[in-house]
Structure 1
Amino acid sequence: MSLNMDIDRTPAMSRSLALLLNTPVVIAAIIISGIGGTFQFGICLSVMTSPSMFIKEFVNRTCVQRYNVSLEEWQVSLIWSFTMSIFSIGGLLGSLAAGALSTAFGRKKCMWFNNFVAISGALLMLLSKTAKSFEMIMVGRFLYGINTGLNTILHMTYVVECTPKRLRGMVGVTACTFISIGKLCAQLLGMSELLGTDERWQWLLGFNGLPALLQLLTLPLLPESPHYLLLHKDDSQGCEKALRQLWGHKDHSVEMEEMLEQHAKEVRSHTVMELIRNQTLRWQLLTIIVTFTVMQLCGANAVFFYSHEVFRGAGLREDQSRYVALGTSLCEVSTSFVCFMILNSIGRKVLIYGGYMCMSATLGLLTVTLYLQHQVQWLSYCSVVLVYLFICFFSCGPAALTPPLPGEIFNQSFQSAAYTIAGIVHWLGMFLLGMLFPIIVEHFGSFCFLIFLFFCLAGGLFVKFHVPETKHCSMLEITAEFQKMHCKRETSQKRQSTVQKAW
């Protein structure tokens, strides 16, 4: 039976890959939008780790030169924490503005102009050391946050809308892939042999300007989103031209009819408040809130933080652990590619649910091995293996498939509002985790993983019982599946309540 399943799945995956390879403009759209989108986010997540010591010394040295005052350690830590957290504040503001701006001006135009925000931030970073101003680093991080908050949503919206329905799930995974590549790139550039030195750290912080410049030059070669042209501009000819440019000179009448049907039902883009008040979409909204919250609170950042401690506990020297730590990013990149290949065979729901369940088991085992590794030496090597396994499960499931969810389970008129809510939850979760995580680690140590284990279990069970499979389904079909799934449950609960009242 399993052999027959494999035979059925392989042609499906081959057809999807063949369809993607036959649409080179879609591939170009994925790469160009990703370079200025989630790739920038990945860089910003990792780029501050390597030069942190040099930047803290720069902050203290600047205060001595300006005010003849040497800062205490807690004061430097406070400035550093604010410099790190202001990125999340900028990201939140950018995500709040993304929906309105993309609806008013279009996905492509917003992405193009947003590159100037990143380039401005990069210039501030590059000039901060010469100007002897650590405040310029703060402002640069804030601008990076705005750029990332905008482009993360714009990137996902544009790619999903430019992709044939059959490929949307596979293409959505590329957002996670670009984040992983951005992290890996920042870690590589942060090595002491490259830009991770006291003389060159400002060039490392200003690296975001290069992908922004690259997207600025290449994005005009791509068409605007066909969905945007038809739904918001009522430009059927422009939509058809964009489809031909993206998907080839074929008959796209079926796709046009689907969009026209949707266009006839939804005449405008709805606001966030309208989405919140819409009772028919409450389970889709709850799905976005739960999945994006759990993705931040599942323990991924905790595992990355502890990875250096785990590697040192396994007997690796500091210079060795830096190179082994690169393996975490390599795991992310390789696993996201694996997810891209197997997505259409296994399905989104199974990968997200299974990912969270495997992550829960891994966190439980990691807590045990970290607690006992001082008594049993060989357990430290088990901890290293568990760190890599956790990252693989996270990258292949929740990290890869959660970001494109708003574009898959909401129709066109609600997508901007859904992405805005997802962005708010994402950035608030990141900000709160950044503020609370040091306190959690200080009080609970390695037992902090038990807290994250709870969130992984809760997220996995929610997806298992409340989210339908979206593989090869249109947005109308997915909406119908949500209603079918929860109408049955609500009807059953009402009947049970009626019986209890009767007794």
Structure 2
Amino acid sequence: MLPQLLFKLLSMKHSWNGGTSSWRITRKNCLLLNNIFLMTGALLALTSRAAKSFEMIIISRVLIGINAGISMNVQPMYFGESAPKHLRGAISLSSAVFTSFGVVLGQVVGLREILGSEPCWQYLLASNAIPGLIQLLTLPWFPESPRYLLIDKGDKEACINALRRLRGCEVQSSELDEILQEQAETKGMRPSRPWDLFTDRAVRWQLISVMIISSAMQLCGNDSIYFYASYVFKEAGIADDTIQYITIGTGTCEFTACIMCNLLIERKGRRFMLMGGFILMTIWAIVFTIALAFEHYISWMSYLSMACIFTYILSFGMGPAGVTGILPTEIFNQTARPAAYMIAGSMMWLNLFIVGMIFPFLVSGLSEYCFVPFGAVCLMSALYIGFFLPETKGKSLSVITREFHKLNFKGQDTSLESQPQAQYQLGEVCLSTAL
């Protein structure tokens, strides 16, 4: 339990470092250098048994927590900045797809017949070095983020070359125009620090949205469902030796749901997927509570509880699991995006740590009603998204900014409403110069 909580705290702390590193060095180099923590942690875990040192395991978990905190911020930012507008959501969400795939893979290799046995646990802890090695061998051949090259570094030629390599064809003028427009809008602005966002009224509702939705992603109770799964399966009469195989189904559900979300996000939109996921989770939390309350009176209620576990995880994967991570890319500009990811990542890991700490007390205090608070969080999150979060599907940053401007400066007649048009004209001038 202690290593898991330590992992969460370190991931939260280094979510801040991930955002800072991503504008001090390039996005790609940040991901490559981040593998130092992964490889060192894996090596310590692998040799800890021979050294008979539990301290090496703790240090290993600290280093893996640093790696996770940085990569889960920089990866979706790199994907989102490299993707074309019409595929931005699907490509950014692929990070969540492979994260859920990693959960399933971890459950499989953690079986007692594979690496989950006493003689092999050190290999299980060190197995996360394999995806890191794959990244080290492949990522150097990929181009840097085009937006980073043009907006942050001012290297127009490198941006165009990166776009050519990513698209496999000549650069579309409309795509370069959008990047040039964002460059014009952020010209002369220094990279924002996290505390700058809290005092900037122009991003007030963007920041509120990211903080609420990132917190709700962990406070919704999905990780607690995994904790409760073994108890429910045992109550349903499943043998202890079989539970480890059934548990793989929970990870498979989230993986399948993330794939479905990836396929639907550009059709249905971010707002629909997020709100739909939270509404469904609210419904399943209610049904799960009823099933737990009556499982000692009605025999088939334990099977209903099992069904609720899978449907709850499916609903989570269809919305919050994937869409939450791409929001900072779409609603913040280039100068504020790394700081927004620092805050979003910190909120996710902090709230995951809080849930891990208080859930045992919720179970002991509320018993079968322990999922009522999670259902309330899901309902309030769905209401917030429905009332305050604009749709970002297929929209440029300027259009999204104008929609948030109506909330940030509600009731005020400022000159900001006319700025996007002026900035667009400036972007056209920059484009004509570039071409």
Asked if structure 1 preserves the Cα contact closer than 8 Å seen for 2:278 and 2:320, the reply is yes
Asked if structure 2 preserves the Cα contact closer than 8 Å seen for 1:363 and 1:450, the reply is yes
Task: Kindly report structure 1 stretches of 4+ aligned residues shifted beyond 6 Å.
Answer: none
Specify the code of the residue in structure 1 equivalent to 2:274. I
Distance in 1, matches of 2:234 and 2:134, equals: 39
Question: 1:114-160: per-residue Cα shift (whole Å, max 9, x none)?
Answer: 11110000000001111111111100000000001111111011111
Distance in 2, matches of 1:476 and 1:138, equals: 46
Tell me if 1:437 matches 2:359.
yes
Aligned to 1:316: 238
State the Cα distance separating 1:490 from its structure 2 match: 8.6
Structure 2 spans left out of the alignment, 5+ residues: 414-435
Specify the code of the residue in structure 1 equivalent to 2:226. F
Tell me if 1:423 matches 2:345.
yes
Specify the code of the residue in structure 2 equivalent to 1:378. W
Distance in 1, matches of 2:122 and 2:171, equals: 51
State the Cα distance separating 1:172 from its structure 2 match: 2.2
Distance in 2, matches of 1:323 and 1:466, equals: 42
Tell me if 1:220 matches 2:140.
yes
Tell me if 1:120 matches 2:18.
no
Specify the code of the residue in structure 2 equivalent to 1:375. Y
State the Cα distance separating 1:102 from its structure 2 match: 1.1
Distance in 2, matches of 1:251 and 1:452, equals: 47
**Counterpart among 60, 63, 67 of residue 143 in structure 1:** 63
Question: 1:304-348: per-residue Cα shift (whole Å, max 9, x none)?
Answer: 111111111111111222111111111111111111111122111
Distance in 1, matches of 2:345 and 2:262, equals: 23
Structure 1 spans left out of the alignment, 5+ residues: 1-80, 492-503
Change (3 A) 1:181 1:490: farther
Aligned ranges for residues 268-279 of structure 1 at < 5 Å? 268-279=190-201
Aligned to 1:464: 386
Distance in 1, matches of 2:298 and 2:155, equals: 68
Change (3 A) 1:223 1:82: same
Instruction: Judge which range, 287-296 or 265-274, deviates more.
Output: 265-274
SS at 1:199's partner residue? helix
State the Cα distance separating 1:476 from its structure 2 match: 1.2
Specify the code of the residue in structure 1 equivalent to 2:177. E
SS at 1:411's partner residue? coil
State the Cα distance separating 1:445 from its structure 2 match: 2.1
Specify the code of the residue in structure 1 equivalent to 2:267. S
Aligned to 2:156: 236
Asked if structure 2 preserves the Cα contact closer than 8 Å seen for 1:243 and 1:252, the reply is no
Tell me if 1:344 matches 2:266.
yes
Aligned to 2:30: 110
Aligned to 1:394: 316
Change (3 A) 1:487 1:271: closer
Aligned ranges for residues 17-96 of structure 1 at < 5 Å? 81-96=1-16
Asked if structure 1 preserves the Cα contact closer than 8 Å seen for 2:214 and 2:344, the reply is yes
**Counterpart among 178, 181, 185 of residue 101 in structure 2:** 181
Root-mean-square deviation (CA), in Å? 1.4
Aligned ranges for residues 161-172 of structure 1 at < 5 Å? 161-172=81-92
State the Cα distance separating 1:383 from its structure 2 match: 1.0
Specify the code of the residue in structure 2 equivalent to 1:456. C
TM-score by length of 2: 0.92
Question: 1:459-492: per-residue Cα shift (whole Å, max 9, x none)?
Answer: 110000000111111111111112235656899x
SS at 2:119's partner residue? coil
Specify the code of the residue in structure 2 equivalent to 1:238. A
Distance in 2, matches of 1:302 and 1:379, equals: 20
State the Cα distance separating 1:243 from its structure 2 match: 0.3
Distance in 1, matches of 2:251 and 2:236, equals: 19
Aligned to 1:253: 173
Change (3 A) 1:374 1:490: farther
Asked if structure 1 preserves the Cα contact closer than 8 Å seen for 2:17 and 2:70, the reply is yes
Distance in 1, matches of 2:14 and 2:83, equals: 25
Aligned ranges for residues 197-212 of structure 1 at < 5 Å? 197-212=117-132
Tell me if 1:307 matches 2:268.
no
SS at 1:177's partner residue? helix
SS at 1:203's partner residue? helix
Distance in 2, matches of 1:448 and 1:277, equals: 37
Instruction: Judge which range, 477-486 or 382-391, deviates more.
Output: 477-486
**Counterpart among 442, 452, 465 of residue 374 in structure 2:** 452
Distance in 2, matches of 1:332 and 1:84, equals: 21
State the Cα distance separating 1:190 from its structure 2 match: 0.5
Q: Higher RCO, 1 or 2 (CA under 8 Å, sep at least 6)?
A: 2
State the Cα distance separating 1:89 from its structure 2 match: 2.2
Asked if structure 2 preserves the Cα contact closer than 8 Å seen for 1:160 and 1:168, the reply is yes
Aligned to 1:283: 205
SS at 1:98's partner residue? helix
Specify the code of the residue in structure 2 equivalent to 1:146. I
Instruction: Judge which range, 434-443 or 221-230, deviates more.
Output: 434-443
Specify the code of the residue in structure 2 equivalent to 1:207. S
Distance in 1, matches of 2:370 and 2:358, equals: 11
Asked if structure 1 preserves the Cα contact closer than 8 Å seen for 2:229 and 2:309, the reply is yes
Instruction: Judge which range, 265-274 or 371-380, deviates more.
Output: 265-274
Distance in 1, matches of 2:407 and 2:271, equals: 14
Distance in 2, matches of 1:381 and 1:486, equals: 48
Instruction: Judge which range, 339-348 or 185-194, deviates more.
Output: 339-348
TM-score by length of 1: 0.80
Distance in 1, matches of 2:408 and 2:200, equals: 15
**Counterpart among 181, 184, 209 of residue 264 in structure 1:** 184
Question: 1:151-178: per-residue Cα shift (whole Å, max 9, x none)?
Answer: 1111011111110011011112212211
Question: 1:28-57: per-residue Cα shift (whole Å, max 9, x none)?
Answer: xxxxxxxxxxxxxxxxxxxxxxxxxxxxxx
Tell me if 1:373 matches 2:322.
no
Asked if structure 1 preserves the Cα contact closer than 8 Å seen for 2:35 and 2:132, the reply is yes
Distance in 2, matches of 1:490 and 1:352, equals: 30
Distance in 2, matches of 1:83 and 1:330, equals: 25
Distance in 1, matches of 2:408 and 2:159, equals: 35
Distance in 2, matches of 1:450 and 1:387, equals: 15
Change (3 A) 1:415 1:301: same
